[in-house]
Amino acid sequence: MPEAPVVGIDLGTTNSLVAYMEADQPVVIPGVDGSNLVPSVVALEPLPKEGGRPTVSVGNSARKVLIESPERVIYSVKRLMGRDLDEVKNELKLFPFRLAEDATEGEVPRLQLGELRFTPPEISAYVLRQLKRNAERFFGVEVKQAVITVPAYFNDAERQATKDAGRMAGLQVLRLVNEPTAAALAYGLDRAKAGTIAVYDFGGGTFDISILKLNDGIFEVQSTNGDTHLGGDDIDNLLLTVALDEIQSEHGINLRQHPGAVQALRKSAIDAKIRLSTEPSASFDVELPNGDRYQREIPREVYIQLIEPILARTAGPCKQAMADAGVTPEQIDEVVLVGGSTRIPAVRALVDSLFKLGARGKKCHTDLNPDEVVAMGAAVQAGILSGSSKTTDDLLLLDVTPLSLGIEALGGVTAKIIQRNSTIPASAVEYFTTGVDGQTNVAIHVVQGERELADDCRSLARFDLKGIPPMTAGLPRIEVRFLIDADGILKVTAREQRSGKEAEIEVKATYGLTDEQVETMILDSYDHAEEDFAKRLLIESRNEGLNLLNAVDRGAQTPAWALLTTAERTAIGEARNHLLEVAKGYEIKAISEAMTALDKATRRFAEMMMDSAVSTAIRGKTMEAAGEELAEAVTAPHAFSPAEFK
């Protein structure tokens, strides 16, 4: 079997993508439904009555479950990664899913999903596994290694949780890359120029700003700042809250008690948000449980006023990042916009004024799709790591740690040992001793953040240095080495210098999942055996091929078929018959090529099948996606949910 390339994954709050370096260009790999975006939504299908493994679905098919049975779906789990019980409780106020009842302090919180319970990294692992499978379908070989992106402002625990998720999904995570930096890589690829650029990354759930200096292929991050809990989600929730409150006061209905209805309303809120980026107004029109309708027109001016406080929260981090990098807005040569929320015109206006772009006759860079640019950058980093592409040979990314690392000193004060915006890997050495005769343990409390008191910073870990040889108080000299690696993750090693017993000092962190826990959570370790793998891929490809054939055949019965030219119909017919033929065989590559050919032949047909309004909204959809719409409208249930392997 040929070796699969290292893939780059953007594990987003709302959507996730997988990409790779094809020769010298990053290319996003589409999913089963032809879409590049896999919604970061995970649903638990009803458990099989006769027993057996539960089926988990991911992406669009999971999103469909949201309105019917919201208790079986989890989305935006990225906001919960690496968070402790209290933080998760607070966050969940906005979401329909709940904590498992057995949640205990000090353990990684688990979420209730239908009858089962999962930690946030496990939920993310399901999304990652879906992306892994999409890539495997595409390459026809197993994908084992990946680069995964994280918000630049993610702390140590959030990064570790993401890495754990990768491992559970059966991926060796070669590197975590900061999202804005990845975007800069994707942009810088064909530019190879020198200068200072700012990347403004406003996504579904997180906001990042990074300032980079580009010099002869070296991307050196100068500073980064952000808010890991600020994004398009907040706008959705704001619109949702406004609507819920109005429904309460105007119709006397507390919709919050109807999770399904809340999700339907949330979907309307998201639709309204998207429309308001291009149209002067948008409206809610939702049926209420008592049969009334809630109708509400939102003019764009009102919308802009509503969201202004949310957008304004991105200004502070931008100013701080410029101050930390020692640059003024005038010294920023280019600003790159990343993340779906940068489609909002009011966001662009804010960026323009923050960086004085218009005044300098400049514009933001938006030439790459803001939803895809991070995944493309991850693919570039994957190329750098695997040394597989000439284009990436000369590129090197020098990133920084977003938050200062400190230890709690006497009186609860934070003693900073590695400053924020230090280039990583970075290290610091501190010395500790004992306070009592014969003491054999020393506890170190490591925190991350900028505040003076350790209590106000994010507690990272309480390390326990065990096995110190008993000595008079103050005599042991324990050297503790803190190292932030290239993933931005802290590693701590310790040794006692007087006795030279270096190996016996045990360093144990007290947060996150243990190695053993991660091990037990590895998804489907059983289906990773090599011999099963080829078989699984073949079955998957055949199923996919049949799904596509079904979609085309259903399409041929619609009025749109008659609108095609004879030549188009012939081409589709030939491509269809060819796929039907190869799907009986054992050649995965042939099946996938035949699918691509049929997909291409039916592209215009797919567009025509949708009415004109819909077709402008989802232009570029493929036959399968069109088939999915059809299936929804005409027959149930649709045949395109990702194949599950028992």
* Closest distance of CB 486 from another protein, Å: 5
* 419 lies in the site for another protein, by CB under 8 A: yes
* Closest distance of CB 227 from another protein, Å: 20
* 397 lies in the site for another protein, by CB under 8 A: yes
The three-point CA angle 477-483-487 to 5° equals 165
* 483 lies in the site for another protein, by CB under 8 A: yes
Query: Would you say 172 or 248 has its CB closer to another protein?
Result: 172
Query: Would you say 293 or 451 has its CB closer to another protein?
Result: 451
Instruction: Identify the active-site residue in 158, 179, 487, 496.
Output: 179
Task: Work out which of 100, 238, 304, 486 binds another protein, going by CB under 8 A.
Answer: 486
* 439 lies in the site for another protein, by CB under 8 A: no
Task: Work out which of 209, 426, 582, 595 binds another protein, going by CB under 8 A.
Answer: 426
Q: Is 293 helix (H, G, I), strand (E, B) or coil?
A: strand
Task: Work out which of 417, 492, 538, 580 binds another protein, going by CB under 8 A.
Answer: 417
Task: Work out which of 1, 396, 529, 539 binds another protein, going by CB under 8 A.
Answer: 396
* Closest distance of CB 423 from another protein, Å: 4
Task: Work out which of 422, 499, 543, 550 binds another protein, going by CB under 8 A.
Answer: 422
Measure Cα distances from 347 to 42, 203, 352, 482 in Å: 30, 12, 9, 39
* 25 lies in the site for another protein, by CB under 8 A: no
Task: Work out which of 281, 366, 427, 499 binds another protein, going by CB under 8 A.
Answer: 427
- Residue 430's DSSP bridge partners are 480
Question: What φ, ψ does residue 597 adopt, rounded to 5°?
Answer: -65, -45
The answer to whether 490 and 405 have CB atoms below 8 angstroms apart is yes
Site for another protein in 201-220 (CB under 8 A): 215-216, 218, 220
* 387 lies in the site for another protein, by CB under 8 A: yes
Sign of CA dihedral 268, 274, 275, 276: positive
The answer to whether 439 and 432 have CB atoms below 8 angstroms apart is no
Task: Work out which of 398, 507, 534, 538 binds another protein, going by CB under 8 A.
Answer: 398
Catalytic: 584? Answer: no
* 175 lies in the site for another protein, by CB under 8 A: yes
User: Which of these segments, 116-124, 258-266, 411-419, 538-546, binds another protein (CB under 8 A)?
Assistant: 411-419
Sign of CA dihedral 132, 376, 545, 583: negative
Q: What would the DSSP string read from start to end of 403-435?
A: S-EEEE-GGGBEEEEE-TTPBSSEEEEEEE--S
* Closest distance of CB 387 from another protein, Å: 7
Is the preceding omega at residue 637 within 30 degrees of 0, hence cis? yes
Instruction: Identify the active-site residue in 64, 78, 163, 273.
Output: 78
* 497 lies in the site for another protein, by CB under 8 A: no
Query: Would you say 397 or 523 has its CB closer to another protein?
Result: 397
As a whole number of angstroms, the distance between CA 621 and CA 34 comes to: 7
* 192 lies in the site for another protein, by CB under 8 A: no
* Closest distance of CB 416 from another protein, Å: 5
* 43 lies in the site for another protein, by CB under 8 A: no
* Closest distance of CB 422 from another protein, Å: 6
DSSP letter at 48? P
* Closest distance of CB 447 from another protein, Å: 13
How many residues are present in the chain?
Answer: 646
Query: Would you say 215 or 305 has its CB closer to another protein?
Result: 215
Sign of CA dihedral 314, 317, 321, 322: positive
Q: Give the per-residue SS3 of 446-472.
A: EEECCCCEHHHCEEEEEEEEECCCCCC
Instruction: Identify the active-site residue in 142, 156, 201, 496.
Output: 201
As a whole number of angstroms, the distance between CA 646 and CA 643 comes to: 10
As a whole number of angstroms, the distance between CA 282 and CA 274 comes to: 9
* Closest distance of CB 211 from another protein, Å: 16
* 385 lies in the site for another protein, by CB under 8 A: yes
* 348 lies in the site for another protein, by CB under 8 A: no
Task: Work out which of 80, 318, 384, 609 binds another protein, going by CB under 8 A.
Answer: 384
Q: Count residues binding another protein (CB under 8 A).
A: 32
The answer to whether 23 and 189 have CB atoms below 8 angstroms apart is no
Task: Work out which of 362, 416, 462, 603 binds another protein, going by CB under 8 A.
Answer: 416
Taking the alpha carbons at both ends of the chain, their separation in whole angstroms is 24
Query: Would you say 387 or 470 has its CB closer to another protein?
Result: 387
Query: Would you say 426 or 494 has its CB closer to another protein?
Result: 426
Catalytic: 621? Answer: no
As a whole number of angstroms, the distance between CA 625 and CA 618 comes to: 10
Residue 52 φ/ψ region, left for φ over 0, alpha for ψ in the -120 to 50 degree band, beta for the rest:
left
Catalytic: 201? Answer: yes
Catalytic: 245? Answer: no
- Residue 512's DSSP bridge partners are none
For 455-485, b/e burial (b = at least 16 CB within 10 A) is: eebbbbbebbbeebeebeeeebebebebbbe
> DSSP alpha helices (H): ranges in 277-325?
300-312, 315-325
* Closest distance of CB 403 from another protein, Å: 13
Measure Cα distances from 128 to 124, 146, 591 in Å: 6, 10, 24
* 182 lies in the site for another protein, by CB under 8 A: no
Residues that bind another protein (CB under 8 A): 174-175, 215-216, 218, 220, 381, 384-387, 396-398, 404, 415-417, 419, 422-429, 452, 483-486
Q: Which of the residues are catalytic?
A: 10, 78, 179, 201
